[in-house]
Amino acid sequence: MHSARRRVLLLGWLLPLVVACAVPACSSEDDEPVVTPAARLERETGSPWIVDEDPETGTPDLMVALDPIKPTAVNGVSYERAARDFIAAHADMFKLRDSAKQLALDEVIVAHDKTAHVRFVQVEGKLLVDGAMLVVHFRADGSIAVLNGTIAPDAAKAAGAPVVTAAAAVRAAEAAVKARRPDYVPGWLAEPPGPQLVLAARGAGAVLAWRLVLDVQSPTEPFGLGFYVDARTGAIVESWSTYADERASGAGYKGDTKTFAVSRALLVTGDYEMSGFFGFISKVTTRDANRDDAVVRSSKIDEWDRVAIGAGAAVDAHTYVSDTDSYFRRYHGWASPTGRGTTIEVYAHDNKLAGNAWWDGKALHFSDGDVHTGGQKMPRSTGPDTVGHEFMHGVVQHTSGLKYRGQSGALNESLADIFGSYVEAEIHPGSRFEHGDQSGPILRDLAHPTAKRQPDHMSILRFPGEEPTKDNDWAGVHYNSGIPNNAWYLMSVGGTNDTSGIAVPESIGLDSARGLWWATARYFLGNDSQFERAARWQTAWAWVTRRPVAAVGCAWVATGVLTHDYVKKSYKTKCFCETRDGGVQRPEAMRCCTKADADDACCKSCDDAGAADAGGGAPSDPAASPTEPDLYDSCKGRADGVYCSQLASYSAIVCEGGSISRGIQCADLSKCVGPNGPGADVECEGTRPPAGDAGGGAAPPSQPDSCEGRANGIYCSVSAPYSAYECNGGQVFGGHYCAGEKTCTGPNGPGKSIVCK
């Protein structure tokens, strides 16, 4: 949706009230002017605000406090409580009837820069409004800075009992698959579809639908499809791919020696297996798809993967996945694609999708390419950017959940390209921003997307308005990703968009862009986010974190995602000079304005140049280390039960239905040690009884898994429920893990071995 269609309410300015009247009463002196949301917020907080309204729902999808307001998440008030209080006070703006019941807490995240982010999902009764969310972002001082998201105010009207059963919905989805693949048989399903009754958000309203996924392991070409099936009619409302794939290949194995972790296998053929821990948080298990998915094994510690085709590709996969996991833990506090340090499953020599690499929703797959038959496609696991790309698809699945179709799918692909580039730069410093450049034929050029047949501007968007199908690349997910890719490049490095000719002379730098794009992916996006909304949300966060808005906003203007008018009005930033004859003059060529030039569009203020671009609010802590993890409490993907909090060491969260239902606190601030899974109550160190609701507001511990103040012994990991760490002298001495994906249950103190069940 283009920003020109939005009502942008800025700095408390009142929209002119134009009234056409036929009677004198219409002009009564008692009439009061319309107070805009931005004006109301400014009056209440003393700070000017930007308020962008979604024309489909009539509710704000972005609110930005341009200057810091009074902190509310202080003095023991939790971030959740402060967020809920603000929303409740402005529930009429969001058209919420009872925000306490309609917004379920999804996650509370405290980032390494001391900002905090509280994500709510909309529910009506017991039904999730899929695609509707509201996120409240706090500055480091505990004040609210930004709200973003989409609310479907009329979604409750679609609630009710389904007419179509879950089984019938599965049959409808299978019929849609069979229409494309006549050879399809239900026996190809890798696991049950798991239908979930939801309200699928559609603008202000919703559709009662069954949401389900078909993971099809076809003998010739595996694929995954997600569906909304109308629960009243059985019609397919929407479908999308659940497989994120490369659709191309990389270069070959270069003969370099790699070091990686393995385990000794005593009960199977071969003494060692390619399955081991890296820093005890994540376990990587690499399998050979050509050998019935068996774990890669060897009888020699220094001789691996001696196969006829793609020799060494499994070594590349195992090592680069480990390196990628290390990158995400170091810079983003994110362990494994799930964020919880769960086992990372890797399949090498997987040629079901020839010449390809893909994330199937659970594991990473890499083919051997076609170099062995004289082609140029080498094993895909040999490119660290490709490995990072597929890993990031898993991260996206467990954060925003961007659907793999249209612009949301292109954002998914773009994030994978961008963070794949960062992974590659970590392993091969100085690499160019060309996806695949380390492994042969270049697939995508982030600096010049059109060089690889990708659009770099909205004016040349591929497949606009088309129904996403496999035949059109799910409406161009691999093509249109060139637009956000180029926006990232322009704001990170600077340069000129090849299609618009608009230059972005100012840049924020690669490190600052890394943090901004991670924040965008982690805290802001929803599963159906489009380019324009993502661009506005990202630009708002750039302002709050004092990144140059001239670089961020103008990069999106250069790619045609945001209008110049929006950036000028919202942030008083000129990306270029619009001359009277329709030409474009770059900012660096503008002359300084004088008093006589008040209406001259081609001059700039030189007295306070750059002041507006610097952003508002307190600057981020320059001493904050990017290696600090982002701590968060979440119930995503967790069974109902009790889990120790990462934000307050003496607290636990209770998960019900995938959301946080309440908090529990250990008495005397003793440390929570479990149960980290299904259980009725929290377990506290020293067996102290629990107190009431935690309420939040405590300062986060330095690390979620720590030996500080603990006796020597073994303790279950908070980050990875299947593992434990050993304390010796107040330091982490080593790691242990439960075989067969069992959960650690103890001993949580002095003891000789880990206890699993």
Query: Does position 66 have pLDDT exceeding 70, yes or no?
Result: yes
| Same domain? 67 vs 108 | yes
User: Is 673 a residue whose pLDDT tops 60?
Assistant: yes
Predicted pLDDT of residue 583: 62
Q: Give the integer Cα–Cα distance in Å for 456 and 298.
A: 47
Lowest-confidence segment of 95-99, 422-426, 563-567, 718-722 by average pLDDT: 718-722
Report pLDDT for 251.
26
Buried b (16+ CB within 10 A) or exposed e, 143-167: bbbbbbbbbbbebbebeeebebebe
100 and 222 co-located in one domain: no
Q: Which residues are bridge partners to 335 per DSSP?
A: 339, 340
Q: Are residues 126 and 34 in the same domain?
A: yes
Q: Among 91, 114, 149, identify where a domain stops.
A: 149
Q: Are 559 and 456 in contact (CB under 8 A)?
A: yes
Could you report the per-residue pLDDT of 121-132, keeping only the tens digit for each? 999 998 999 999
pLDDT value at position 528? 95
Q: Is residue 126 part of a domain?
A: yes
**C-beta separation of 575 from 506 below 8 A:** no
- Beta strand extents in 156-222 (DSSP E only): 196-202, 205-216
224-238 pLDDT, tens digit per residue, is: 899 999 999 999 999
142 in the same domain as 14: yes
Rounded Cα gap, residues 619 and 199, in angstroms: 40
pLDDT (0 to 100) of residue 640: 86
Within a domain: 182: yes
Using alpha carbons only, give the angle 46, 47, 51 rounded to the nearest 5 degrees. Answer: 125
**Which carries the bigger pLDDT value, residue 723 or residue 102?**
102
Q: What is the pLDDT of residues 515-529, one digit of tens each?
A: 999 999 999 999 999
**Is residue 694 within 8 Å of 660, Cβ to Cβ?**
no
Q: What's the angle, vertex CA 360, arms to CA 473 and CA 150, rounded to 5?
A: 70
Q: Where are the alpha helices (DSSP H) in 281-434?
A: 313-332, 384-397, 406-427
**For residue 601, what pLDDT is reported?**
53
Where residue 175 falls among pLDDT bands split at 50, 70, 90?
very high
Does residue 88 sit within a domain?
yes
Statement to judge: residues 11 and 124 lie in one domain: yes
Last residue of a domain, one of 242, 275, 299: 242
Same domain, 697 and 709: no
| Average predicted confidence (pLDDT) for the chain | 82
Q: At 689, which amino acid appears?
A: P
pLDDT tier, 326 (very low <50, low <70, confident <90, very high otherwise)? confident
Give the whole-angstrom CA distance, residue 393 versus residue 3. 28
* Separation between Cα atoms, residue 588 and residue 565, nearest integer Å: 19
183 inside domain: yes
Summarised one tens digit per residue, pLDDT across range 622-634 is 334 455 667 888 8
Q: Among 242-246, 274-278, 510-514, which range has the highest average pLDDT?
A: 510-514
Least confident of 23-32, 161-170, 639-648: 23-32
Domain count, the chain: 4
Same domain, 142 and 198: no
pLDDT digits (tens, 9 = 90+) for 682-731: 888 765 333 333 333 333 333 456 676 677 888 877 656 666 777 766 66
Per-residue pLDDT at 626: 52
Tell me, yes or no, whether 668 lies in a domain.
yes
Best CA proximity match to 491, nearest among 475, 514, 468: 514
pLDDT at 449 over 70: yes
**Is residue 139 domain-shared with residue 209, that is, in the same domain?**
no
Name which of 6-20, 321-335, 543-557, 560-574 the model is least confident about: 6-20
Contact call for residues 618 and 114 (beta carbons, < 8 A): no
- Closest among 396, 527, 524 to 64, alpha carbons compared: 524
Residue 66 lies in a domain: yes
Q: Which residues have CB under 8 Å from 73's CB, separation 6+?
A: 79, 81, 82, 83, 116, 138, 142, 143, 697
Could you tell me which residue, 635 or 173, shows the higher pLDDT? 173
Give the tens place of pLDDT for each residue, 603-653: 666 654 444 444 554 443 433 445 566 788 888 778 888 888 877 777 888
Q: Which residue has the higher pLDDT, 638 or 383?
A: 383
Give the domain range for residue 189: 166-242
Cis preceding-peptide flag for 747 (omega within 30 of 0): yes
The residue length of the chain stands at 757
Which of 59, 58, 53, 9 lies closest to 34 in space, CA to CA?
9
Whether residue 279 has pLDDT greater than 60: no
- Is it the case that residue 364 has pLDDT exceeding 90? yes
Supply 407's token pair: 């612009």
In this predicted structure, the answer to whether residue 246 has a pLDDT above a threshold of 60 is no
Domain annotation covers residue 644: yes
Q: What is the pLDDT of residue 734?
A: 55
Of all residues in the chain, the percent with pLDDT exceeding 90 is 49
- Domain presence at residue 296: no
Residue 84 DSSP SS3: helix
| Judgement on whether residues 68 and 115 belong to the same structural domain of the protein | yes
Residues 14 and 76 in one domain: yes
Measure Cα distances from 301 to 256, 264, 267, 270 in Å.
16, 9, 17, 10
Specify whether 651 is located in the same domain as 756: no
d(CA 281, CA 273): 19
Per-residue pLDDT tens digits for 301-323: 777 778 888 888 899 888 899 88
Instruction: Pick 662 or 172 by higher pLDDT.
Output: 172
Token pair 């821990």 is found at 277
Q: Which of 104, 119, 149 is the last residue of a domain?
A: 149
Residue 217's domain is classified under what CATH number? Answer: 3.10.450.40
Q: 127: which strand partners? A: 124
- The first and second tokens of residue 131, run together, are 């695609």
Tokens matching residue 69: 């307001």
In terms of domains, do 27 and 118 share one? yes
Contact by Cβ (8 Å): 172, 101: no
Instruction: Decide the pairing of beta strands 282-288 and 275-278.
Output: antiparallel
